[in-house]
């Protein structure tokens, strides 16, 4: 039996209390996020604790939690509509100049009005974060929040967990994402954290991109994402997701927030320049991340060190290889320069294949994955 | 520590319900059925943190044993439940406050009539208690912190016992033994291939098995905590607090 990584002598029935605490942080239904959630958290307040801070809202339940905050489903009483309330980790307010940055960035985001982007209704800060009845040393801090459109559906991560996304669905989702990205990019806003968790699909199969620009609000100046908890990465040579090795030449972790709210990056979807030259990031970083997402949708896997074209792994139109590989070019200048360009190519393939049998390198008679439907996303459930 | 009277097997759910602190609070009448058993079960489970508190407050082992016994006797006689106080929401804080009051107010009076009662309602192993106490970080932690830490560890212990018992009653004891070392391991460190071999299963099945174990452990831990509080809202807050205590090691 391999020795356990944690070498504490104080064990309770063979279990180290600290390690147990790490495991117990995650909600019982969480599967893929096991390792990702084991960082010292931010513990989201219970809905009842939040209620007094948001008198106009009826806060129902916690629907999501991550390094960037917690999201609750709520009802805005006066307007009689569902909303998503996102609160940031309380300690975030302690970062210098945060309040000013928050106001500036959030204003820009509130102007993003597009059917493919989760609308930001309101933002600001309220009272004090709920404490632990004085048992834990509670430092009063304003609670920063966003009030957003509530999307009734799933995110792409959940869809991916059910298996590979059939090519026709992937190709129906991508153009919508491109539209949203192009719209934001035209306004000078880069997302910086495109990943399946941020791509929401409502019941009609429409895509909405969430958390635009949030990374820039949380991480100052550079606007890029920090590496995760350094001690986790150091201890076992792996990053927070427990799979990706820490690169030897990786830049040191940027200034961390307090231990209550370490920002977790999503290294798997991050463009090379985001990791290496964070100050040089522009909208093409989003295109790279989209490339990773597309690759994952088509093949069920993330692109590895040796980038294998998707058509070598699954039966898809070989022309899609070019789209994906171009989006995943390490040098931004060699990628698609506009999200709309990616969309055009995808739609060309889609339209072209609707009539004829698709050319694949190995034809084993699986017509299902070969057929590509036109643009309308089919009802996903 | 075992918990007689706590039935975790699906065959007898009604007993499980009576371990809740809320039941105790609701039934102030000592004659109410189930209430006494519930309180006894709770005391049986959590006596050690109290003993540790009394000992680290400076009492000798002999006095600590007597005091703890006396305290529980009064608790079981519902003396302390008659007083309405805000911390009633959580058994942990209630016990600690009540014990503190007991030690402050009753110590002198009780000492005068020591060993007159002759009742030993709780059977706890006082030798074991002292042995464990000697292993504590009693020199570095004040009584309150010691109590909290011991409480949190007791909860952890409870959850592990329940988990093991669940697997055992379903004939999956060997599986539990194979999986247990990986209960708190971080994702990237779990040797699924090895586990698959140990279980004579596929690697995919090994992943599912590990996932199920961890998930069930979390659920049982939450349930264990829920037993000691009066409402679900309290359970969330209590869980956060306990995890914070556990994180200190």
ipTM of the prediction: 0.71
A270 with A351, same domain: the answer is yes
A209 with A358, same domain: the answer is yes
- Per the model's pLDDT, the better-predicted residue between B220 and A1 turns out to be B220
Helix, strand, coil abundance in chain A, percent, nearest 5 = 35, 15, 50
d(CA B233, CA A62): 13
Residue A97 has pLDDT above 50, yes or no: yes
- Residue A193 appears among annotated catalytic residues: yes
- Per the model's pLDDT, the better-predicted residue between B123 and B153 turns out to be B153
Return the pLDDT at B186. Answer: 74
d(CA B42, CA B228): 8
- Per the model's pLDDT, the better-predicted residue between B12 and A55 turns out to be A55
d(CA A14, CA B178): 13
Residue A199 confidence class, pLDDT cut points 50, 70, 90: very high
CA distance to partner chain A, nearest, from residue B98 (Å): 17
Lowest-pLDDT range of A175-189, B98-112, B119-133: B119-133
Lowest-pLDDT range of A180-189, B98-107, B192-201, B215-224: B98-107
Helices (H), A222-377: 230-236, 272-276, 284-299, 318-327, 339-353, 367-370
In a domain, B131, yes or no: no
Residue A35 confidence class, pLDDT cut points 50, 70, 90: very low
CA distance to partner chain A, nearest, from residue B90 (Å): 12
A246 with A345, same domain: the answer is yes
d(CA A58, CA B174): 48
- Per the model's pLDDT, the better-predicted residue between A163 and A316 turns out to be A316
Q: What's the mean pLDDT in A257-272? A: 53
Chain B's closest residue to A8, CA to CA, is: B249
Taking the model in full, what pTM does it have? 0.47
Beta-bridge mates of residue A292: none
Give the Cβ contact number of residue A40 at 10 Å: 17
Return the pLDDT at A258. Answer: 22
Is B87 within 8 Å of chain A by CB? no
CA distance to partner chain A, nearest, from residue B245 (Å): 9
Residue A173 has pLDDT above 60, yes or no: yes
d(CA B14, CA B6): 10
* CB A206 within 8 Å of CB A176: yes
Return the pLDDT at A57. Answer: 94
CA separation, residue B17 to residues B224, B225, B228 (Å)? 11, 13, 12
Return the pLDDT at B7. Answer: 37
A180 with A290, same domain: the answer is yes
A143 with A162, same domain: the answer is no
**CATH no. for residue A92?**
3.30.200.20
- Burial bucket for residue B89 (CB in 10 Å: 0-12, 13-18, 19+): buried
Across A104-119, b (16+ Cβ under 10 Å) vs e yields ebbebbeebebebbbb
In a domain, B132, yes or no: no
Return the pLDDT at B39. Answer: 77
For chain B, what is the domain count?
1
Is A24 within 8 Å of chain B by CB? yes
SS3 B223: helix
- Choose, out of B87, B225, B240, the residue to mutate when testing the contact with A (most A CBs < 10 Å): B240
Return the pLDDT at B11. Answer: 34
Is B185 within 8 Å of chain A by CB? yes
Per the prediction, chain A carries an average pLDDT of 72
- Choose, out of A8, A28, A130, A136, the residue to mutate when testing the contact with B (most B CBs < 10 Å): A28
In a domain, B50, yes or no: yes
Q: In this structure, is the dihedral angle defined by the CA atoms of residues B157, B58, B245 and A243, taken in order, positive or negative? A: negative
Per the residue annotation, which of A131, A152, A193, A211 is the catalytic one?
A193
Q: What's the mean pLDDT in A297-321? A: 88
d(CA B233, CA A28): 17
Is B97 within 8 Å of chain A by CB? no
Chain B residues whose beta carbon lies within 8 Å of the beta carbon of residue A34 = 187, 211, 214
Residue A64 has pLDDT above 60, yes or no: yes
A186 with A298, same domain: the answer is yes
For chain A, what is the domain count?
2
Q: Domain span at residue A161?
A: 155-370
Is B183 within 8 Å of chain A by CB? yes
């Amino acid at each position: 039996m391999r020795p356990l990584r944690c070498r504490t002598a104080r064990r309770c029935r063979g279990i180290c209390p600290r390690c147990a605490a790490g495991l117990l942080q995650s909600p019982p239904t969480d599967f893929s996020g096991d390792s990702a959630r084991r960082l010292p958290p931010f513990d989201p307040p219970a809905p009842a604790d939040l209620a007094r801070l948001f008198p106009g809202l009826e806060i129902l339940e916690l629907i999501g939690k991550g390094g960037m905050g917690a999201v609750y489903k709520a009802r805005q009483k006066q307007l009689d509509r569902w909303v998503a309330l996102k609160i940031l980790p309380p300690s975030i307010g302690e970062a210098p100049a945060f309040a000013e940055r928050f106001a500036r960035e959030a204003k820009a985001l509130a102007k993003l009005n597009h059917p493919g982007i989760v609308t930001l209704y309101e933002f600001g800060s309220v009272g004090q974060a709920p404490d632990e009845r004085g048992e834990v040393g509670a430092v009063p801090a304003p609670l920063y929040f966003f009030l957003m459109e509530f999307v009734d559906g799933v995110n792409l991560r959940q869809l991916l967990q059910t298996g590979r996304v059939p090519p026709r669905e992937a190709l129906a989702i991508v153009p919508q994402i491109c539209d949203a990205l192009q719209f934001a990019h035209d306004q000078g806003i880069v997302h910086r954290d495109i990943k399946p968790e941020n791509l929401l699909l409502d019941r009609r199969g429409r895509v909405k991109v969430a958390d635009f620009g949030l990374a820039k609000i949380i991480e100052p100046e550079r606007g890029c994402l920090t590496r995760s908890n350094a001690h986790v990465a150091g201890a076992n040579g792996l990053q927070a997701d427990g799979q990706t090795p820490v690169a030897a030449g990786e830049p040191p972790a940027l200034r961390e927030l307090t231990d209550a709210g370490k920002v977790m990056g999503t290294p798997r979807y991050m463009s090379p320049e985001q990791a290496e030259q964070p100050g040089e990031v522009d909208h093409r970083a989003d295109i790279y991340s989209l490339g990773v997402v597309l690759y994952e949708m088509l093949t069920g896997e993330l692109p590895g060190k040796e980038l294998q074209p998707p058509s070598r792994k699954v039966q898809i139109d070989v022309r899609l290889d070019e789209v994906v590989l171009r989006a995943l070019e390490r040098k931004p200048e060699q990628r698609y320069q506009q999200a709309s360009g990616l969309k055009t190519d995808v739609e060309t393939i889609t339209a072209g294949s609707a009539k004829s049998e698709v050319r694949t390198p190995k034809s084993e008679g699986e017509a299902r994955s070969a057929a590509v439907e036109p643009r309308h996303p089919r009802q996903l459930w | 520590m075992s918990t007689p009277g706590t039935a975790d097997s699906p065959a007898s759910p009604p007993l499980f319900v009576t371990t809740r602190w809320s039941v105790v609070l609701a039934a102030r009448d000592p004659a109410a059925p189930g209430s006494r058993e519930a309180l006894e079960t709770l005391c049986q489970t959590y006596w050690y943190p109290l003993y540790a508190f009394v000992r680290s407050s400076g009492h000798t082992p002999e006095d600590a044993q007597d005091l703890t016994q006396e305290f529980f006797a009064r608790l079981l006689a519902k003396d302390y439940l008659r007083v309405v106080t805000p911390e009633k929401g959580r058994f942990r804080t209630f016990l600690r406050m009540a014990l503190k009051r007991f030690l402050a107010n009753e110590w002198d009076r009780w000492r005068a009539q020591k060993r007159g009662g002759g009742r030993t309602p709780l059977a706890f192993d006082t030798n074991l208690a002292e042995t464990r106490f000697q292993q504590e970080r009693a020199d570095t932690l004040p009584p309150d912190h010691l109590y909290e830490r011991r409480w949190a560890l007791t909860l952890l212990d409870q959850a592990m016992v329940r988990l093991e018992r669940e697997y055992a009653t379903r004939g999956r004891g060997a599986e539990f033994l194979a999986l247990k070392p990986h209960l708190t391991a971080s994702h990237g460190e779990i040797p699924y291939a090895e586990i698959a071999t140990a279980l004579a299963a596929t690697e995919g099945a090994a992943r599912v098995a590990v996932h199920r174990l961890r998930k069930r452990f979390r659920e049982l831990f939450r349930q264990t905590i829920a037993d000691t509080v009066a409402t679900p809202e309290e359970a969330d807050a209590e869980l956060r607090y306990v995890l914070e205590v556990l994180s200190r090691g």
